[in-house]
């Protein structure tokens, strides 16, 4: 294992390589195979930047993977989201203070462009405390862990109470547009700018007319009628919301009967 001149002693076949990699990808998944190859090249003395570029792995992701490997061992090779092979691999040691390839103690490597900082975290202090009221801070940290490979989309989604698809989307947003993109700037609508008083009156009018005539009173039907009458483009959902806000659903049964009673009283 100490030999470093493997290039001169081992014959490499590109055809065999493609065949073996294709078979491995089918069994383990492309990401896992990339991790295995990257780790082997790293052990053989390859520069991390060159390995990442050669395998098309973002350098930050590769640094994070190496850090995770030094922390939890061989289980870091598996794709925690879906690969069943992870069940066959157990950590070879307890998670704790780790060392890099040269034996230097390390805990967490923070990478931002050319800036790198090695944060040595003792095992007994591996707790990150966040004030419950600091929701944006919590969200940012969880998404940063996701983007660095410390959490899977499933784990991050569970922690944030959102779907895996959504957590991937906002994780990508954070990665490309910084924390400011996560700020919810919705102030709360102070006024129904689109649904004016005239439009509301038309919603009531169409709803009542459909009730009396026996026509459908669904949001889709009312939206079509109101949009035709007012030259608007209200969505079915918006109309349903205003039908509910105006309490119109509560007169579905009482209004037709009330109208009949009024007619009867007018005739007598």
Residue 63's pLDDT band (cuts 50, 70, 90): confident
pLDDT at residue 123, rounded to an integer: 52
189 in a structural domain: no
Q: Do 60 and 20 fall into the same domain?
A: yes
Q: Do 55 and 153 fall into the same domain?
A: no
pLDDT at residue 85, rounded to an integer: 41
Nearest Cα to 256, choosing from 268, 267, 264?
A: 264
Q: Do 87 and 150 fall into the same domain?
A: no
Q: Do 90 and 153 fall into the same domain?
A: no
Last residue of a domain, one of 136, 159, 182: 182
User: 194-203 contacts: CB < 8 A, separation 24 or more?
Assistant: 194/232, 194/234, 194/238, 195/234, 195/238, 195/242, 198/230, 199/226, 199/230, 199/232, 199/234, 200/242, 200/246, 202/226, 202/229, 202/230, 203/239, 203/242, 203/243, 203/246, 203/248
Q: Do 23 and 117 fall into the same domain?
A: yes
Tokens of 37: 């190859």
Q: Do 52 and 111 fall into the same domain?
A: yes
Q: Do 89 and 138 fall into the same domain?
A: no
Q: pLDDT per residue over 81-113, tens digit each? A: 444 444 333 333 333 344 444 444 446 667 777
Q: pLDDT per residue over 157-193, tens digit each? A: 888 888 888 888 888 888 888 887 777 655 555 445 4
Q: Do 132 and 119 fall into the same domain?
A: no
Question: Looking at 51-65, 92-106, 194-208, 236-250, which range is the least confident one?
Answer: 92-106
Distance of alpha carbon 138 from alpha carbon 109, whole angstroms: 20
Last residue of a domain, one of 123, 151, 173: 123
pLDDT at residue 104, rounded to an integer: 44
DSSP string, 189-251: -SS-SSS-HHHHHHHHHHHHHHHHHT----HHHHHHHHHHHHT----HHHHHHHHHHTTGGGG
pLDDT at residue 93, rounded to an integer: 35
Instruction: Report how many domains make up the chain.
Output: 3
Q: Assess whether pLDDT exceeds 70 at residue 121.
A: no
210 in a structural domain: yes
pLDDT at residue 187, rounded to an integer: 52
Residue 62's pLDDT band (cuts 50, 70, 90): confident
Q: pLDDT per residue over 8-21, tens digit each? A: 777 888 888 888 88
- 83-87, 110-114, 123-127, 201-205, range with greatest mean pLDDT: 201-205
Please give the helix or strand (H or E) that residue 111 lies within, else none: strand 108-112
108 in a structural domain: yes
Last residue of a domain, one of 123, 140, 167: 123
Pairing of strands 98-99, 105-106: antiparallel
Percent with pLDDT over 70 in the chain: 77
User: How far is the first Cα of the chain from the last one, in angstroms, to the nearest whole number?
Assistant: 108
**Who's near 121: CB < 8 A, 6+ residues apart?**
97, 107, 108
7 in a structural domain: no
Cβ-based burial of 88 (10 A; exposed 0-12, middle 13-18, buried ≥19)? exposed
3-state secondary structure of 110: strand
pLDDT at residue 83, rounded to an integer: 43
Q: Which domain holds residue 217?
A: 197-259
pLDDT at residue 161, rounded to an integer: 84
pLDDT at residue 126, rounded to an integer: 65
Tokens of 12: 């490499």
220 in a structural domain: yes
Q: pLDDT per residue over 128-154, tens digit each? A: 788 877 888 888 888 988 888 888 888
pLDDT at residue 203, rounded to an integer: 92
Cβ 128 vs Cβ 138: under 8 Å: no
168 in a structural domain: yes
pLDDT at residue 5, rounded to an integer: 67
5 in a structural domain: no
113 in a structural domain: yes
Q: Do 108 and 26 fall into the same domain?
A: yes
Question: Looking at 44-53, 122-131, 210-219, which range is the least confident one?
Answer: 122-131
pLDDT at residue 6, rounded to an integer: 67
Q: What integer is the mean pLDDT of 254-261?
A: 81
């Amino acid at each position: 294992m100490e030999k470093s001149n493997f290039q001169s002693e081992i014959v490499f076949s590109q055809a065999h390589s493609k065949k073996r990699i294709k078979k491995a990808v089918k069994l383990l998944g492309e990401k896992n195979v990339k991790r295995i190859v990257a780790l082997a090249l790293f052990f053989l003395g390859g520069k991390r930047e060159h390995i990442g570029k050669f395998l098309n792995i973002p350098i930050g992701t590769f640094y994070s993977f190496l850090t995770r490997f030094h922390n939890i061992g061989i289980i870091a090779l598996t794709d925690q989201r879906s690969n069943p092979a992870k069940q066959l691999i157990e950590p070879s040691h307890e998670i704790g203070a780790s060392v890099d390839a040269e034996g230097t103690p390390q805990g967490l490597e923070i990478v931002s462009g050319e800036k790198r900082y090695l944060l040595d975290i003792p095992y007994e202090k591996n707790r990150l405390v966040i004030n419950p009221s600091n929701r944006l801070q919590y969200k940012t940290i969880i998404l940063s862990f996701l983007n660095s490979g410390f959490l899977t989309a499933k784990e991050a989604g569970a922690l944030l109470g959102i779907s895996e698809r959504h957590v991937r989307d906002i994780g990508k947003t954070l990665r490309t547009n910084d924390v400011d993109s996560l700020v919810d700037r919705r102030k709360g609508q102070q006024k129904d700018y689109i649904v004016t008083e005239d439009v509301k009156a038309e919603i009531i009018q169409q709803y009542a007319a459909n009730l009396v005539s026996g026509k459908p009173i669904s949001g889709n039907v009312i939206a079509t009628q109101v949009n035709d009458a007012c030259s608007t483009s209200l969505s079915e959902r918006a109309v349903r919301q205003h039908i509910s806000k105006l309490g119109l659903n509560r007169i579905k049964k009482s209004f037709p009967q009330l109208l009949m009673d009024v007619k009867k009283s007018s005739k007598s």
